[in-house]
Amino acid sequence: MERIVIASPDVPSSGKPYSPAIRHGETLYVSGQVALDPATGGAIEGGFEAQTRRVLDNLVALLRAGGSDPSLVLKTTCFLVDIADAARFNEIYREYFPIDPPARSTFAVAALSAGFLVEVEAIAAVADR
């Protein structure tokens, strides 16, 4: 089986030594996404809610670039700097995964790179083409 690196013009590169996503067979592995602005390549402004939406928008862009979509996500791992944000995170997350959401783990972490407040990674099935 071929290992294919997946990127999207709608998701800026972090410049760090990892691929945005890897497709192997019918599975897509999406690296942890943070709130990088596709227009500038820098961090977006606007606080936790704006960051969460940008993270999930970036995740969806990579899913689509890899032949998947939110309905095919099997598992997410979510990292929050402040666990007090979990309820608001859940509200926004439900907008992206409204029916039969994927399996999920959520962790409070001491910090994320560059002062980000939220990060989400995913494993998804790939749609039949």
Question: Reduced to 3 states, what is the DSSP secondary structure of residue 78?
Answer: strand
Whether 75 shows a pLDDT value over 70: the answer reads yes
Nearest to 44 by CA among 33, 32, 28: 33
Cα(50)–Cα(80) distance, integer angstroms: 14
Q: For residue 3, count other CB atoms closer than 10 A to its CB.
A: 10
pLDDT digit string, tens, across residues 7-53: 999 998 878 899 999 999 999 999 999 999 998 888 998 999 999 99
Token reading at 82: 């402040």
Mean pLDDT over residues 98-114, rounded?
96
Name the DSSP letter for residue 40: T
Cα(79)–Cα(37) distance, integer angstroms: 19
* Domains recognised in the chain with CATH numbers: 3-125 (3.30.1330.40)
Token reading at 85: 């944000």
| Residue % of the chain over a pLDDT of 70 | 98
